[in-house]
């Protein structure tokens, strides 16, 4: 029976070559397009999923109401990190990430610019960016210590071992390399070539103001913490310390950072998820047309 079906199919292909070629080519191109879209969608959903603590990692957002509209933004004050870590038992750890800065690195005859961030030392233990050299728990303990990616290490030091070497930054003080990070994966929203400790900057170290919003603040919760209950607890943390701000705080989970980054009426309902959904519809229509 199967052999008869194959013979009939082959006979049809031979007698209707042009029609068969168009159909087969269309189906192949359609399937290829659908596979590419599926791979892209999978990549979008994989963002920052490699972190060991992903289920307990959250970003602190602000929420305020003005003229009947609810506005949300993710730039927080310098005091947020320490206050959350100190006053709320459900929060195991916290770190701030300051604005990205292009700094000038000088080593022997090498002069290189690179982009990176000032962070609290907990950053390297909260997030799973593997160190090729150094200890994640202590790499940013020392003042003027710096952790660099392997790519930046090659740019600055060539084939030399960068560990414990001194590099001058912005033609000022020398900094000691205390860690080398494996190159950042393509599916992370973080983008840096180096990390330095906020404790190395006197202004940032002492910035405990509730009025200077210059940081992204991330927290790691104690496993199995009730997030809804914790959100109710921290909601008025800003109002408590800075009543004039009239701004609430809430936690946004890592699983939604990439796809649900646009807030409407105080809820994360939009973002790149709209593009993902659109392309999935396109993929379905493409497959139907090709078939």
Contact 62, 86 (CB under 8 A): no
List the one residue out of 151, 219, 156, 218 whose CA is nearest residue 184: 151
The pTM of the full predicted model, rounded to 2 decimals, is 0.89
Residues 6+ apart with CB under 8 A from 23: none
d(CA 200, CA 190): 21
Domain ranges, ordered by start, for the chain:
2-47+275-290, 54-257
E strand segments, 188-283: 194-197, 213-221, 248-253, 262-264, 267-270
Helix (H) or strand (E) holding 85: helix 80-87
Chain Cα centroid distance, residue 224? 22
Please determine, for residue 132, whether its predicted confidence score (pLDDT) is greater than 80. yes
Contact 178, 102 (CB under 8 A): no
Contact 184, 191 (CB under 8 A): yes
Please determine, for residue 215, whether its predicted confidence score (pLDDT) is greater than 70. yes
Buried-state track 208-218, b at ≥16 Cβ within 10 A, e below 16: eebeebebbbb
Please determine, for residue 23, whether its predicted confidence score (pLDDT) is greater than 80. no
The tens digit of pLDDT for each residue in 99-111 reads 999 999 999 999 9
Query: For position 167, what pLDDT does the model report?
Result: 97
| Residues counted in the chain | 291
d(CA 13, CA 30): 20
Query: For position 1, what pLDDT does the model report?
Result: 52
């Amino acid at each position: 029976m199967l052999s008869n079906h194959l013979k009939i199919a082959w006979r049809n292909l031979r007698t209707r070559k042009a029609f068969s070629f168009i159909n087969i080519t269309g189906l192949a191109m359609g399937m290829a397009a659908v596979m590419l879209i599926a791979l892209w969608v999978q990549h979008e959903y994989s963002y920052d999923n490699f972190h060991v603590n992903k289920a307990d990692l959250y970003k602190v957002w602000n929420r305020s109401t003005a003229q009947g509209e609810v506005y949300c933004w993710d730039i927080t004050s310098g005091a947020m990190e320490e206050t959350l870590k100190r006053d709320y038992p459900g929060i195991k750890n916290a770190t701030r990430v300051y604005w990205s800065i292009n700094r000038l690195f000088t080593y022997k005859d090498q002069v290189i610019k690179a982009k990176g961030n000032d962070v609290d030392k907990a950053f390297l233990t909260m997030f799973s960016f593997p160190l090729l050299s150094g200890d994640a728990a202590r790499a940013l303990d020392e003042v003027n210590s710096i952790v660099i990616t392997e790519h930046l290490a090659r740019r600055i030091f060539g084939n030399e071992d960068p560990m414990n070497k001194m590099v001058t930054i912005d033609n000022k003080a020398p900094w000691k390399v205390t860690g080398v990070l494996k190159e950042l994966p393509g599916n992370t929203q973080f983008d840096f070539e180096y990390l330095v400790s906020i404790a190395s900057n006197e202004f940032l170290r002492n910035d405990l103001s509730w009025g200077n919003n210059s940081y992204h603040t991330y927290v790691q919760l104690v496993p199995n913490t009730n997030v809804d209950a914790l959100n109710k607890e921290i909601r008025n943390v800003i109002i408590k310390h800075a009543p004039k701000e009239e701004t609430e705080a809430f936690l946004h989970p890592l699983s939604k950072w990439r796809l649900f980054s646009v807030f409407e009426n105080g809820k994360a309902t939009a973002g790149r998820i709209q593009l993902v959904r659109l392309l999935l519809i396109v993929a379905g229509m493409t497959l139907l047309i090709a078939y």
